[in-house]
Every structure is written in structure tokens, then in C-alpha cells.
């Protein structure tokens, strides 16, 4: 299987395309999935500054003000062929490949930011993890289950213990739809990353019986055929 080097992100858009994650996360706040969520995939722009984009084996240090460090297990697609107003049926021709994406989150900072109706901001912009390599779609043809869908098991492990995960095929909005939405009225560039959003049960927020990440914890984000992305939590 080809393993291409990851390009430096020109931008990172992170979607929220797994219904189970949205349902579980909102249940923690006593809320249901809003009907607007089902209308179209939505995203926010993350921080793609090189100093906060980390590869495999990095040490991740959470914000000094946070005591609720979390990580979200995702897959990211990388745009290889620029395009504007890309139809979902044409989207795969614009995708260079897939990689693993770790969306680090300071939950105690995220809550007030989101209550204002803008964000997340400082709850997210301190670290992003990507890698360990880029796998072209051609090398995943045998596990493709339909347009923008691939049968790839996803697992989140902390200190070698599986916390949760699922399958990329469980995504509500397929990856082609993410490209269609992201490219509407704007040209996507080669090197733009689109995150899938967290797979159901793929973060600590969805497991209220577990402690938040602590210095010394070892995190592994594992996606079938894409490899494993490792990180160690560092002291503040």
C-alpha cells in the first residue's frame, strides 16, 4: 500500500458528521440532536499554524488553564486537485487520500466559548495531530462501500486500553458530501484538510466514567489501513 508524505495543511476544516457522536455529546448537556444538524454537514476552521500541527509520536501539552483535556478520533481527507463548487459525485477525483486526525480539545474552555455562540477557539487551537501518512483512495478500493464511504475500523486507546471507536462507514454524511459543502462558492486548494468529525464513542467526553487525559498518558488513534497515530501527554 502506498504511503505518501503528508502535505503541510493550507487549511483544516473540521466537520461533525457522525450522528452517534453528536447524540452522545449533546446528551451530556441534556440536549438532543438539533433538527438543523440533519440538513447539511457543518464545520469550523481549526488552527493550521505549523507550530500546532503535530505528527506521529508528538508530545501534546494542553492549555495551562484547562483541566479537562480530551482527544477526538477522526479521519481527514486531503484535497489533491483544487476545485470550486465540486459536486459530491465528482468529489473523489479531488481527494489525494485519507489520514488519521486527532482533534485535541480542552472541554472546560470549550463550554463557555460555545455558549457565546462563537467558536470553539482556545479550546482547540493549541494542538492538532495528523498522520502517520497519507493513503491514496486507489489503495482503499477494496473497502469502499459506496460514494465517499470506506469500511475502516477506528479505535481510540489510552495507555493501551481501548476506550471506544467505530467505523468510518458509520458516518452520516459521506466524505464526498463534505467536499461538496466545503467547496461551495470557494475554491479548495491542494493541501486543504477536511476532518470527518469524531466517530461515535471516539472521545472521552462520551465516556463520563473515565478521567480526562493526564501528563504521562499515552494516546493511540488507530484506523484500519491508515495505521496508528501516537501521542504522549506532556506536563504543563
User: Domain of 55?
Assistant: 11-233
Query: Quick check: is 190 in a domain?
Result: yes
Query: Quick check: is 1 in a domain?
Result: no
Over residues 62-93, the pLDDT tens digits come to 999 999 999 999 999 999 999 999 999 999 99
| 224, HSE (Cβ side, Cα atoms, 13 Å) | 14
- CB under 8 A, 24+ apart: contacts of 159-162: 159/217, 159/218, 160/218, 160/220
Query: Quick check: is 4 in a domain?
Result: no
Query: Quick check: is 63 in a domain?
Result: yes
Count how many domains the chain has: 1
Query: Quick check: is 2 in a domain?
Result: no
Query: Quick check: is 5 in a domain?
Result: no
For residue 48, give the CATH number of its domain. 3.90.850.10
Over residues 45-68, the pLDDT tens digits come to 998 888 999 999 999 999 999 999
- The strand pairing partners of 167, in sequence order, are 153
Query: Quick check: is 118 in a domain?
Result: yes
Query: Quick check: is 3 in a domain?
Result: no
- Rg for the chain (alpha carbons), in Å? 16
pLDDT value for 2: 67
pTM over 0.95: yes
Alpha carbon distance 163, 141 (integer Å): 29
Amino acid at each position: 500500500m502506498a504511503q505518501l508524505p503528508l502535505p503541510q495543511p493550507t487549511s483544516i476544516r473540521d466537520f461533525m458528521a457522525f450522528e452517534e457522536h453528536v447524540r452522545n455529546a449533546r446528551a451530556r448537556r441534556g440536549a438532543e440532536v438539533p433538527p438543523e444538524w440533519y440538513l447539511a454537514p457543518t464545520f469550523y476552521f481549526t488552527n493550521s499554524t505549523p507550530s500546532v500541527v503535530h505528527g506521529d509520536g508528538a508530545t501534546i501539552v494542553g492549555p495551562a488553564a484547562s483541566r479537562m483535556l480530551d482527544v477526538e478520533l477522526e479521519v481527514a481527507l486531503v484535497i489533491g486537485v483544487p476545485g470550486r463548487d465540486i459536486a459530491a459525485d465528482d468529489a473523489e477525483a479531488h481527494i489525494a487520500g485519507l489520514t488519521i486526525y486527532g482533534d485535541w480539545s480542552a472541554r472546560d474552555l470549550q463550554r463557555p466559548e460555545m455558549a457565546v455562540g462563537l467558536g470553539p477557539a482556545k479550546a482547540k487551537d493549541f494542538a492538532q495531530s495528523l498522520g502517520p501518512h497519507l493513503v491514496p483512495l486507489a489503495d482503499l478500493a477494496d473497502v469502499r462501500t459506496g460514494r465517499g464511504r470506506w469500511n475502516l475500523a477506528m479505535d481510540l486507546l489510552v495507555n493501551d486500553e481501548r476506550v471506544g471507536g467505530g467505523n468510518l462507514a458509520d458516518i452520516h454524511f459521506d466524505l464526498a458530501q463534505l467536499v461538496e459543502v466545503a467547496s461551495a462558492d470557494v475554491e479548495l486548494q491542494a493541501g486543504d484538510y477536511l476532518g470527518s468529525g469524531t466517530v461515535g464513542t471516539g472521545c472521552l467526553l462520551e465516556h463520563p466514567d473515565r478521567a480526562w487525559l493526564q501528563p504521562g498518558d499515552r494516546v493511540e488513534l488507530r484506523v484500519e489501513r491508515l495505521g496508528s497515530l501516537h501521542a504522549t501527554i506532556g506536563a504543563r
